[in-house]
């Protein structure tokens, strides 16, 4: 594709980003500025200029983004596009380790541990080391280890750095034992995938040289989200030819809590002094008013590269702001407005998204959407691959693929129940440790473990079944292996015998896993059991959003990154919630700037309409708390705000006037002698808390009892089977005529006695 042809479909800055191919390039791509178009056309342009597709690499963060880029590259390039390496950071490292993991002491058929697997392993570690998990939670230990790995600090360096710190001794021993067990299980956790790849490239010059020669042109998307170890991976691969093009937006750096290092993008020119910097500021997504608001908010950040989004799109509607008395009324408005937009033909449900700061906010929203019978989907809930029945079948597949994976073996040895007790399993574990072998290898020698006695006879059928599967797997497809597991274990038959709604749903999930395996088998380049497990392990929640289904999406602001919607609701716009009270009360301005970037991300998800909502009161841990309107809302220019009344249920919910001038951080520093916003807010919160102390949820007496016939708005009529006192509310079990047995809280169910 020639420059003349590109000139017809790209703006001048996009064209510069595509055609500047030699040397390091930083493309600062504002929200909705067409960065994916630039990256994909850059690939096509390189191939047009004679670069072999095999020598081009494009890295991104999510499977969704990688799939979109792959599809666009295929459409643009056609023949030879398959040789371009388009993948996420993690899948890139998996591919490298599958070839060369043996160079650093692992077998190439290693397992990949997800968050649940890591937590299970850490529980075993803490038990073995006698770490009191009431004082130090497993999640906290895993978080410390993950942060260390992000900074390329292995267990030995971690121990050396914290040698004199008494409080860190448990973390040191846990990190060492955790890594020891991962290695023994021939497994990597997600952080290891990148860290171990970096270690491989540093330790093996031959391997590094191979990939440097292969990847002569490297592109990295969402560069502002990279952490230290990801930066090092990119630096190593690009250090030979330095044809590195990174695309990102420092104003959208919102993953500091995951280890993202914003200075990777802010200091790019320091790392690569001869870098070319290109700014993409024309937005193709949002209206003028939405962008005006986004620019007004983000300009209050000092730690950023100067740029301002602009668009040729329509001026659009004003940004709507509504403040309500309570979070319940806020949620009710959002649900009713989404329905109204659908009824008036403005936006389908799938065009709308509700964004919030914390997952806890979703509960009330979900209840209101249920009450209004509005289809919705929560992104960030229980991932399909985290459901028990799915993890059980995957554990069988992992055991067949890699018998050294102790977690997988231990998960399924009694699934279905085989009568092998915890005592017997403990004896097998002791034997395995004593003989320095895996748990499964010890099971193979069960007849020789004298302390097992008759229990050995219960273990032998399990081992025989797995060994038979291992032999068959050489000739079977992945779906066929799954069916062998289901037939051999009677897993589905047990669920069918149960017959409950939950059991039926679990069977449907297993069927969906088989569907996934069939699709993988049909579409995979070289389908293998290892490849299937690898693909499943790398799937994220956000990849499950189906853009063809007509439902409203509910998600956190962090989850919304990279997405766009015609109609966006930003809920909970209150100081103390967004930004959080800890951020306001703290003295680290960078934390507040990150929160502001998150607000900027939320605003720029909207294409046509943006609505911000806040509640004067919100219940937190059973107590009513009062919140002022978020400072981010007050940073919006008043001329683009629609703060008119919303009338409903005979009440008016008035917006707060925008008469308070916006102050930048520099202005606030000059007024340091005056009471700060944080201190005045903290004082107000303390006063309100004292006033509302003791104001908790009141349990209302029920006008029905067990055996009574009741009616539910959605499920129809049924009979109350059981009423349990759940502390703050009653848990009611009802057998409905149409939908069977349901458990629900009385205050939310609103059952009416017939």
Taken in order 240, 241, 242, 244, the sign of the CA dihedral is negative
Give 251-260 pLDDT, tens digit per residue: 999 988 888 8
Q: Place 506 in a pLDDT band, splitting at 50, 70 and 90.
A: confident
Q: What is the pLDDT of residue 653?
A: 33
Active-site residue (options: 14, 252, 399, 613):
252
Q: What is the pLDDT of residue 454?
A: 85
Give 137-154 pLDDT, tens digit per residue: 898 899 999 999 999 999
Q: What is the pLDDT of residue 362?
A: 84
List, in sequence order, every beta strand (DSSP E) within 145-216. 187-189
Hunting for tokens 């797997």 — which residue is that?
473
Give 472-495 pLDDT, tens digit per residue: 998 899 999 999 999 999 998 888
Evaluate if residue 100 carries a pLDDT over 60.
Answer: yes
**Region 106-126 average pLDDT:** 92
Q: What is the pLDDT of residue 4?
A: 57
User: What span, in angstroms and rounded, lies between the C-alpha atoms of 257 and 380?
Assistant: 16
Give 207-219 pLDDT, tens digit per residue: 999 999 999 999 9
DSSP character at residue 317 = P
Q: What is the pLDDT of residue 688?
A: 40
Q: What is the pLDDT of residue 695?
A: 34
Active-site residue (options: 605, 607, 618, 631):
605
> What's the token pair of residue 602?
């939320």
C-alpha dihedral, 528 to 544 to 494 to 121, nearest 10°: 70
User: What span, in angstroms and rounded, lies between the C-alpha atoms of 392 and 399?
Assistant: 11
Flag the least confident range among 174-183, 201-210, 617-626, 631-640.
617-626
Evaluate if residue 657 carries a pLDDT over 50.
Answer: no
CA-based nearest residue to 81, from 59, 48, 36, 37: 48
> What's the token pair of residue 500?
């409950």
Based on the residue annotation, tell me whether 36 is a catalytic residue of this protein: yes
Q: What is the pLDDT of residue 220?
A: 95
Based on the residue annotation, tell me whether 252 is a catalytic residue of this protein: yes
Q: What is the pLDDT of residue 256?
A: 87
Residue 609, Cβ density class (10 Å: 0-12 exposed, 13-18 middle, ≥19 buried): buried
Please state whether the peptide bond connecting residue 579 to the residue before it is cis, i.e. omega within 30 degrees of 0: yes
CA angle 545, 546, 551 (to 5 degrees): 90
**Region 6-30 average pLDDT:** 92
Q: What is the pLDDT of residue 623?
A: 61
The mean pLDDT of the chain is 85
Based on the residue annotation, tell me whether 35 is a catalytic residue of this protein: yes
**Region 70-80 average pLDDT:** 81
Give 688-746 pLDDT, tens digit per residue: 434 434 333 345 678 888 989 988 876 788 899 888 875 556 778 888 887 677 777 77
**Region 537-545 average pLDDT:** 59
Active-site residue (options: 221, 351, 575, 635):
221
State pTM to two decimals.
0.69
For 23, phi and psi rounded to 5 degrees?
85, 175
Percentage of the chain modeled with pLDDT above 90: 54
Q: Place 673 in a pLDDT band, splitting at 50, 70 and 90.
A: very low
**DSSP SS3 for 330:** helix
Based on the residue annotation, tell me whether 222 is a catalytic residue of this protein: yes
Higher pLDDT, 278 or 664: 278
User: What span, in angstroms and rounded, lies between the C-alpha atoms of 625 and 575?
Assistant: 11
Q: What is the pLDDT of residue 496?
A: 83
Percentage of the chain modeled with pLDDT above 70: 88
Q: Place 237 in a pLDDT band, splitting at 50, 70 and 90.
A: very high
Q: Place 98 in a pLDDT band, splitting at 50, 70 and 90.
A: very high
SS (H, E, C) 594-617: HHHHHHHHHHCCEEEEEEEEEEEE
Q: What is the pLDDT of residue 545?
A: 58
Based on the residue annotation, tell me whether 548 is a catalytic residue of this protein: no
Higher pLDDT, 404 or 394: 394
Q: Which residues contact 283 (CB under 8 A, 6 or more apart)?
A: 30, 31, 32, 33, 291, 309, 310, 311, 313, 604
User: What span, in angstroms and rounded, lies between the C-alpha atoms of 24 and 11?
Assistant: 21
CA-based nearest residue to 191, from 182, 202, 180: 182
Based on the residue annotation, tell me whether 197 is a catalytic residue of this protein: no
Active-site residue (options: 35, 322, 398, 634):
35
Residue 370, Cβ density class (10 Å: 0-12 exposed, 13-18 middle, ≥19 buried): middle
């Amino acid at each position: 594709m020639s420059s003349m042809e590109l000139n017809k479909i790209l703006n001048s800055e996009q064209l510069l980003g595509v055609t500047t191919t030699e040397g390091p390039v930083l493309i600062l791509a504002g929200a909705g500025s067409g960065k994916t178009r630039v990256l994909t056309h850059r690939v096509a342009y390189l191939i047009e200029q004679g670069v072999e597709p095999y020598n081009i690499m494009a890295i991104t963060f999510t499977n969704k983004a990688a799939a979109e880029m792959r599809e666009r590259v295929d459409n643009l390039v056609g023949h030879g596009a398959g040789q371009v390496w388009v993948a996420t950071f993690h899948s890139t490292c998996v591919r490298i380790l599958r070839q060369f993991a043996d160079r650093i002491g692992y077998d190439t058929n290693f397992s990949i541990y997800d968050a649940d697997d890591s937590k299970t392993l850490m529980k075993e570690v803490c038990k073995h080391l006698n770490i009191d998990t009431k004082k130090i939670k497993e999640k906290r230990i895993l978080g410390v280890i993950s942060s260390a790995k992000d900074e390329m600090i292995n267990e030995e360096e971690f121990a050396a750095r914290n040698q004199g710190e008494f409080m860190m001794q448990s973390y040191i021993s846990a990190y060492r034992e955790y890594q020891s067990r991962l290695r023994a299980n021939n497994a990597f956790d997600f952080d290891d995938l990148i860290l171990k790849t970096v270690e491989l490239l540093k330790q093996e010059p031959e391997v590094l040289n191979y990939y440097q020669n292969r990847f002569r042109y490297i592109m990295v998307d969402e560069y502002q989200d990279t952490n230290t170890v990801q930066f090092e991976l990119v630096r190593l691969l690009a250090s030979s030819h330095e044809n590195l093009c990174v695309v990102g937006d420092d104003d959208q750096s919102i993953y500091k809590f995951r280890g993202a290092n914003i200075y990777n993008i802010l200091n790019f020119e320091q790392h690569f002094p001869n870098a070319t910097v290109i700014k993409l500021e024309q937005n193709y997504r949002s209206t003028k008013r939405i962008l005006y608001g986004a620019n007004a908010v983000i300009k209050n950040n000092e730690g950023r590269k100067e740029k301002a989004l602009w668009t040729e799109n329509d001026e659009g509607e004003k940004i709507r702001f509504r403040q309500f008395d309570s979070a319940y009324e806020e949620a009710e408005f959002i649900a009713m407005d989404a329905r109204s937009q659908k009824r008036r033909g403005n936006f389908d449900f799938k065009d709308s998204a509700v964004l919030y700061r914390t997952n806890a906010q979703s509960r009330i929203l979900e209840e209101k959407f249920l009450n209004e019978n509005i289809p919705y989907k929560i992104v960030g809930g229980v991932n399909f691959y985290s459901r028990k029945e799915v993890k059980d079948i995957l554990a069988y597949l992992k055991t067949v693929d890699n018998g050294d994976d102790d977690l997988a073996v231990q998960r399924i040895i009694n699934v279905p129940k085989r009568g092998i007790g915890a005592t017997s399993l403990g004896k097998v574990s002791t034997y395995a440790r004593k003989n320095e072998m895996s748990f499964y290898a010890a099971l193979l020698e069960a007849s020789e473990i004298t302390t097992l006695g008759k229990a050995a006879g219960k273990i032998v059928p399990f081992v025989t079944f797995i060994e038979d599967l291992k032999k068959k797997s050489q000739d079977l497809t992945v779906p066929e292996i799954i069916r062998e597991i289901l037939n051999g274990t009677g897993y589905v038959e047990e669920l069918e015998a149960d017959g409950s709604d939950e059991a039926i749903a679990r069977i449907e999930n297993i069927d969906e896993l088989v569907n996934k395996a069939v699709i993988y088998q049909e579409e995979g380049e070289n389908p293998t059991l290892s490849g299937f497990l690898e693909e499943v392990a790398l799937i994220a929640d956000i990849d499950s959003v189906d853009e063809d289904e007509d439902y409203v999406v509910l998600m956190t602001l962090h989850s919304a990154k990279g997405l766009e919607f015609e109609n966006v609701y930003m809920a909970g716009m209150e100081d103390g919630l967004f930004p959080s009270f800890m951020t306001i009360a703290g003295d680290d301005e960078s934390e507040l700037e990150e929160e502001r970037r998150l607000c900027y991300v939320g605003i720029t998800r909207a294409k046509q309409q943006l609505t911000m909502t806040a509640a004067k009161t919100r219940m937190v841990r059973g107590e009513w708390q009062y919140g002022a309107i978020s400072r981010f809302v007050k940073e919006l220019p008043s001329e683009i705000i629609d703060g008119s009344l919303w009338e409903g249920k005979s009440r008016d919910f008035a917006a707060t006037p925008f008469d308070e001038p916006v102050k930048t951080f520099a202005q606030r520093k000059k007024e340091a002698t005056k009471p700060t916003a944080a201190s005045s807010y903290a004082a107000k919160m303390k006063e309100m808390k004292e006033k509302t102390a003791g104001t908790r949820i009141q349990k209302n007496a029920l006008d029905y009892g067990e055996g009574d016939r009741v009616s539910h708005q959605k499920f129809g009529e049924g009979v109350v089977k059981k009423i349990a006192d759940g502390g703050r509310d009653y848990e009611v079990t009802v057998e409905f005529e149409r939908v069977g047995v349901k458990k629900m809280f009385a205050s939310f169910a609103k059952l009416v006695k017939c």
